[in-house]
Structure 1
Amino acid sequence: MDPMLLLVFMSCGVYYVIGTLNPSKTFYFVNQTKAFDEAQRHCRDHYTDLVTLWGRAEMEELFALEDFTFTESAWIGLKSTSSQEWQWSLSDQEFYKEGETEYRNWGPGEPTNTPGEYCSVMDDKGKLRDTPCKETRTFICYNGQNYNGQKYILINELKSWREAQSYCRQVHTDLVSVRNPDENLQIQKLIPVGVKYIGLYRDPFVWSDSNTSSFRNWASNQPDGSGECVAQQLQDPKLWDDQTCSSPRPFFCYAIPVFKQVLRLELESDQNLNDPDVKATILQEIQQRLISQGVSEMSNLQWRQQPNGNIFQARA
């Protein structure tokens, strides 16, 4: 069966589609004091989860929710775990092909995973090492906007890893990722001697909803190990610190609204349109056509059954 042909002809079949169209995140401030785990359950019961933040623009959305004059801090969805996986600062999954997020050209004996060595550098041999994040070093940014025809930009300014990350994100795209041997060689050529910060780091803190955002907004000398959960300070300078998870605080949740839309079409075919394989083929074609019209790939299309259990019914 040609599903393209099937969708062109008009006839008596009727189907319905339910989908999630153009999802967007909405933030909520819950002015009830709860321990972190209780706050997490509340967000999951009533919204989607505790809030995950991808940048300063989303932080500003939080602060616009309410006047926090009398509130010192609130939980966000970041919590420390025993796992500390190496990951890239640029967390956009579309940026990486299969296996590229795991590419590592570690030097001999690296990484040492010494306490406090949570960031990485590349040396003039193209090898990676782990290093303390607070040491000031020059660094390499990645620019996805074809800056003067260059993707990799050497910055000869001394900054800590976090400062370098902030600079790259403001001026270019992010600290550089090294996704494969070819890129490893290209980036190595920018390092005539010594070592430079790159975007690889390890972090015990993970988001409640398992998102991979690498955005961090720590206050000076934070995290200091005083707790496993992260609180957003609501007074200037509005930074983060780690706190004991059992401490009662208000909290931020987020939700992704679900929109339902019913679509109705008439189809003509000499085949049994209620056959499971035929229905699956039609639904796949509909999904592709909707995506081509700008509907989110997250859309969940479902058939709506008639009272007799069929999807299609013949026109008399």
Structure 2
Amino acid sequence: SIFTGDAAQKYILFKENKSWTEAQRYCRENHIDLASVRNQTENQEILSAAAGQWVWIGLFRESWKWSDQGTSSYRNWNSGQPNNFYGQENCAVIWTNSWMWNDLQCGGIFPFFCYKDNLILVQENKSWGEALSYCRQHYVDLVSVPTEQVQNWVKRRAQSASTAHVWLGLRYSCALHFWFWVRGKKAGTRNWAPGKETGKCGHTGAVESGAGQQWVSLPETEKLNFICSKHGIKDICDSGYGKKLLVQMELTDTALLNMRDPAVRRAVFQKIEKKLKEQGMPEFKLRWRRQPNGEIFYQKKEDEEKKEGCKKPEV
């Protein structure tokens, strides 16, 4: 039984009865993990799909943590729960008679909810560009990692790779000098291995398949396994997408150009867009930011140039 509507991107219900540990193993091997419940809306969605059955969720007693290592503090315990009856109740189940949560012995046999599988490890060795094209042709995209929760899922997938590193949808922009996800956002969540965040042109991000599954910067020509996303990541988690990024740049050799001319500004704008697309950022939405005086560009004064001790980004 699978959720309908928006929830179809999140969970899948398995009616086969398993212990909590067996359910966790099944979800991790075949999907992503046992389901976390992060708010009242998700709790109600699970209750509706459970159709009168008691069901395991991914909460277990270690200060009551989620199996997928999510950090949600939402709880919906029944009155007097968790009570750890006989000191052996270490896993959480949703009671259908009260629609609230209870702690039970993990060996109890119940149906369970998994996260619907959104990530796939492709065990073919491809360059970063080839991997990007493959994911976009067969799935949605090379995986972006907007949250710690998705990062944990990626780590689990990477452990099954046949190469020492696995490509992510992470690339360095030479034009704007920052790391970004191919889904169109600047990299916020970070998990770089010490000394491995090398900001160089032609470098892209990968995750280790061994050790601590941290990120490394590698030349995009290397041939590696890679992880694709089957659906939009933001469909299954709070991604934090939608933030604005302000970038200031300097244009050189503009003496013969009238930067107030709309045609000139449009040509510059199109050149920036072309650069972004070439570097795998087609989903970035650009717009000019006007100065307080209404102008977009201003002529740099000579004393400002003398104070500058570093080279501006070139577009």
Structure 2 length-normalised TM = 0.38
Bigger helix share: 2
Q: Which has the bigger relative contact order, CA under 8 A and spacing at least 6?
A: 1
